[in-house]
Amino acid sequence: MENRIRITVSDHVADVKLTRGDKMNALDPEMFSQIANAIDQIAHMPHVRCVVLSGEGRAFCAGLDMASMASGGSGTSLADRTHGDANLPQHAAWGWRTLAVPVIAAVHGVAFGGGFQIMSGADIRIAAPHTRFSIREVHWGLVPDMAGIALWRGIARDDVLRELTYTAREFDADEALGFGFVTRIATDPYTEAHALATQIAARNPQAVQGSKKLFNLQPDLDSAAILQAESDVQLGVIRQPNQVEAVMANMQKRAAVFAD
């Protein structure tokens, strides 16, 4: 079986790379399966505090491998909820959002269709200047169905999403930044992503993960529920050993040493 994903972990940062570079990391059934497995592996790595997600070769991900999908589909029924609320293709994008730790996507070349939705699952998205993007599905007579609709509602305006979806047009990194799909543009997004991941991994992991939990909750809760959630999460963090260590390290002007 050909490996389509490579995971390496160093200094609490998991480097996850799509390695089907000869196909611009296009999504076939095996790619979906291996992305899902990668997400599930990281979910059970307590020492991982941040993830960098990138693509090998000329592109982050060109979307569906249409020839492969036409012959075999995604390998699962779209009706089957195989991963909690999601089916397998949805989990390939939504799963990054459900991980407890932050995910940073380093994007270059193209992020089309399913690749654009996978990118959208990241907490933070750093793109190379000449990256091209597209919500591509209508080009193929399809609808976006890899969790994009759920992910984009907190990223871009509704009318922008509708225009880009209905037309399936390509847009560049500057437009993506303006729309909110890209956090920032960098000449070397992979190096930039790792520098940011290292910075995040040096913070209290309970505080970082608690903050991500709150951001994930906020689109679906009213104000009262969000206020309660803030208090609940804080009570699980405050005065715990890692929070005390953060205070002591700041006072002593040294690097903190946190427990996983």
What pLDDT does 82 receive? Answer: 79
- pLDDT of amino acid 25: 97
4/17 Cα distance (integer angstroms): 8
Tokens read off for 62:
């060109």
Q: Are 62 and 98 in contact (CB under 8 A)?
A: no
Question: Against a cut of 0.85, is the pTM above it?
Answer: yes
| pLDDT (tens digit per residue) in 206-252 | 999 999 999 999 999 999 999 999 999 999 999 999 999 999 999 99
Q: 105: closest CA among 87, 125, 76? A: 125
Which domains are present in the chain? 5-200 (3.90.226.10), 204-252 (1.10.12.10)
Burial-class residue 43 by CB neighbours within 10 Å (0-12, 13-18, 19+): middle
Cβ atoms of residues 22 and 56 within 8 Å: no
The predicted pLDDT at position 76 comes to 66
pLDDT of residue 73: 56
pLDDT tens-digit profile of 161-177? Answer: 999 999 999 999 999 99
Structure tokens at 94: 């939504």
